[in-house]
């Protein structure tokens, strides 16, 4: 067909032609969608609305134009329900997608007293796929969501009480995602699935074989001539006229590779709570992944609370969490204490400590204060802290930050450490931890400016006080005097 507007085809001219087809209910959607897809393909990469389009791009457009005259063949029945004795009405919404577009079409299924069932197409909708290169399973899910929207519109518009509403898709991925209860999905899919699940019941979703899915037609495209005779498009699949038990059954819901990609990876968590000794006798605690001692205690409490819940024991407190961490830190040394020999203790640097395992299994030492009853147990029999363990950095930083509040430097932190722990050559370790403490890093002082001449009197001069004066003022300050309030200013005079 020639361009009746004159001149070559441009984006602007194409957009002047196909939107003129007035089809608010989407009876001609397969034909209209073809034009929309053609326009979207033609327009991609052409910025100028009046630029002449290359002939290679216009092949599908010319085919579409040639089919325009076939529109006369299309006859649309006005009445969509059984004329008399309506017994039951159902709404069936079909959805589908292709790489170019996604679409949905709704049918009203009526049954009269004699049991005769008939379906008529009510309305359809379609959209061109967004240019984000979504996978076909994702587009099918978007089609399913469009189906829900169409279902709502039709329900409001059709003045027939509906007994049931069913949604049909040929995508096993979509059905798998909708039925999935356990696995987490990628955000895009998860959001759409939530929207669909919030508005429909999972039993309303059915599977239709692709060849019997009328929503496949608008995503593929069809000319008006083909559409006029298309039984599937106007009346839906033939099985709708059968009782529900004869409808097609979905095969096993096995998503394809692209569908599986939307499942989030399961993070594996190993929890040892079968044997309580086991957890404490293996180096399981991820000290390197905890930024602070407080966080490590929180994680330890979480581990213990799983074990406690499984055994119906009371929730563990902070002290239990700390105890688990201390056992983990002392692990290698506690194991050596099971068969202590003089040589082994000397090798581990424990021989001076008088080490023993307390009733909780923690490694303690006997210092010179062991008989001073007024002191706490931890001070009399300090806990052993190995120098090389990753956990001791967290602990020392915690003592410095939380107990000493960054005050006092190495000595203060050491004093706090000795109240509870024994560690060989601790000063070096504490010094290194404190060096990394950012709040304790002193800002470098700015270099002071040179003194003015009058500030440095010559030896023979005897300047009087306040010969040279520096002046500063501040305020106002609100000062209460009786019931009234006054504003005061401060003037500061400094002898230089």
Please state, in angstroms and as integers, the Cα–Cα distance from residue 421 to each residue in 273, 380, 413, 416, 426, following that order. 28, 10, 12, 9, 10
> Cβ of residue 398: shortest distance to Zn ion, in angstroms?
11
> Cβ of residue 400: shortest distance to Zn ion, in angstroms?
5
Selected range binding Zn ion among 58-66, 267-275, 401-409, 484-492, rule: CB under 5 A: 401-409
54 contributes a contact to Zn ion by CB under 5 A: no
Q: Which is nearer to Zn ion, 62 or 294 (CB)?
A: 294
Selected range binding Zn ion among 123-131, 149-157, 290-298, 435-443, rule: CB under 5 A: 435-443
Q: Which is nearer to Zn ion, 308 or 410 (CB)?
A: 410
379 burial class (0-12, 13-18, 19+ CB within 10 angstroms)? middle
> Cβ of residue 328: shortest distance to Zn ion, in angstroms?
25
> Cβ of residue 495: shortest distance to Zn ion, in angstroms?
38
Q: Count the neighbouring beta carbons within 10 Å of the beta carbon of residue 117.
A: 16
Distance from C-alpha of 18 to C-alpha of 35, rounded to nearest angstrom: 7
Q: Which is nearer to Zn ion, 376 or 428 (CB)?
A: 428
Distance from C-alpha of 63 to C-alpha of 43, rounded to nearest angstrom: 17
Sequence-ordered alpha helix ranges (H) in 19-102: 29-43, 59-66
Report which of 276, 320, 280, 281 is spatially closest to residue 298, judged by C-alpha positions: 320
Q: Which is nearer to Zn ion, 343 or 439 (CB)?
A: 439
> Cβ of residue 482: shortest distance to Zn ion, in angstroms?
47
Per rule CB under 5 A, count of chain residues that contact Zn ion:
4
Selected range binding Zn ion among 23-31, 77-85, 167-175, 439-447, rule: CB under 5 A: 439-447
Look up residue 130 and give its DSSP letter: P
Which residues lie below 8 Å from residue 311, measured CB to CB, with a gap of 6+? 273
Q: Which is nearer to Zn ion, 260 or 440 (CB)?
A: 440
Q: Which is nearer to Zn ion, 336 or 397 (CB)?
A: 397
Q: Which is nearer to Zn ion, 78 or 438 (CB)?
A: 438
DSSP three-state, residue 356: strand
Selected range binding Zn ion among 144-152, 165-173, 378-386, 430-438, rule: CB under 5 A: 430-438
Give, for 103, the enclosing helix (H) or strand (E). Answer: strand 101-112
Selected range binding Zn ion among 260-268, 293-301, 409-417, 432-440, rule: CB under 5 A: 432-440
Q: Which two tokens stand for residue 414?
A: 């050491």
Which residues lie below 8 Å from residue 380, measured CB to CB, with a gap of 6+? 367, 369, 370, 371, 372
440 contributes a contact to Zn ion by CB under 5 A: yes
> Cβ of residue 416: shortest distance to Zn ion, in angstroms?
13
The position carrying tokens 């983990």 is 328
Q: Which is nearer to Zn ion, 15 or 440 (CB)?
A: 440
Selected range binding Zn ion among 28-36, 262-270, 406-414, 445-453, rule: CB under 5 A: 406-414
- Half-sphere CA count of 187, side-chain side, radius 13 A: 0
407 contributes a contact to Zn ion by CB under 5 A: no
Binds Zn ion (CB under 5 A): choice among 406, 410, 418, 424: 406
Report which of 247, 94, 233, 285 is spatially closest to residue 171, judged by C-alpha positions: 94
User: Applying CB under 5 A, which residues contact Zn ion?
Assistant: 406, 437, 439-440
């Amino acid at each position: 067909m020639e361009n009746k507007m004159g001149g070559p085809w441009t984006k602007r001219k194409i957009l002047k032609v196909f939107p003129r087809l007035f089809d608010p209910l989407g009876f001609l959607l397969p034909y209209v969608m073809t034009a929309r897809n053609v326009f979207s393909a033609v327009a991609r990469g052409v910025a100028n609305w009046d630029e002449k389009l290359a002939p290679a791009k216009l092949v599908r457009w010319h085919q579409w134009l040639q089919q325009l005259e076939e529109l006369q063949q299309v006859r649309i029945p006005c009445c969509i329900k059984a004329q008399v004795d309506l017994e039951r009405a159902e709404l069936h919404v079909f959805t589908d997608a292709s790489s170019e577009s996604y679409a949905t079409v709704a049918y009203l299924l009526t049954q009269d007293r004699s049991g005769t069932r008939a379906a008529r197409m009510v309305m359809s909708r379609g959209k061109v796929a967004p240019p984000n290169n979504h996978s076909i399973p994702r587009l099918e899910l978007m089609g399913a969501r469009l189906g829900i929207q169409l279902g709502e519109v039709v329900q409001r518009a059709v003045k027939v009480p509906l007994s049931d509403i069913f949604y049909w898709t040929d995508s096993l991925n979509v059905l798998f995602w909708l039925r999935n209860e356990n696995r987490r999905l990628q955000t895009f899919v998860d959001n759409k699935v939530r929207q669909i699940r919030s508005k429909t019941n999972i039993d309303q979703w059915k599977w239709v074989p692709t060849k019997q899915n009328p929503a496949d037609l608008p995503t593929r495209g069809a000319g008006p001539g083909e559409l006029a005779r298309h039984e599937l498009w106007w009346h839906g699949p033939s099985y709708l006229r059968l009782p529900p038990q004869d409808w097609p059954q979905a095969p096993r819901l096995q998503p394809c590779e692209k569908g599986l990609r939307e499942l989030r990876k399961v993070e594996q968590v190993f929890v040892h709570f079968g044997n309580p000794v086991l957890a404490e006798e293996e180096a399981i605690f991820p000290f390197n992944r905890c930024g602070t001692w407080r966080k490590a205690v929180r994680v330890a409490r979480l581990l213990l609370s799983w074990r406690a819940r499984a055994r119906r024991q009371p929730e563990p407190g902070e002290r239990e969490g700390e105890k688990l961490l201390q056992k983990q830190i002392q692990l290698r040394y506690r194991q050596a204490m099971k068969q202590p020999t003089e040589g082994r203790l000397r090798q581990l640097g424990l021989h001076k400590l008088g080490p023993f395992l307390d009733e909780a299994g923690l490694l303690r030492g006997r210092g010179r204060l062991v008989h001073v009853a007024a002191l706490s147990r931890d001070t009399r029999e300090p806990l052993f802290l190995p120098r090389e363990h990753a956990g001791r950095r967290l602990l020392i930083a915690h003592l410095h930050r939380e107990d000493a509040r960054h005050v006092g430097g190495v000595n203060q932190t050491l004093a706090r450490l000795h109240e509870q722990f024994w560690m060989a050559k601790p000063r070096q370790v504490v010094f290194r931890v404190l060096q990394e403490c950012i709040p304790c890093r002193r800002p470098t002082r700015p270099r002071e400016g040179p003194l003015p001449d009058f500030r440095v009197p010559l030896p023979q001069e005897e300047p009087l006080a306040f010969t040279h004066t520096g002046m500063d003022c501040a305020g106002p300050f609100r000062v209460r005097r009786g019931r009234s309030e006054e504003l005061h200013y401060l003037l500061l005079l400094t002898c230089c």
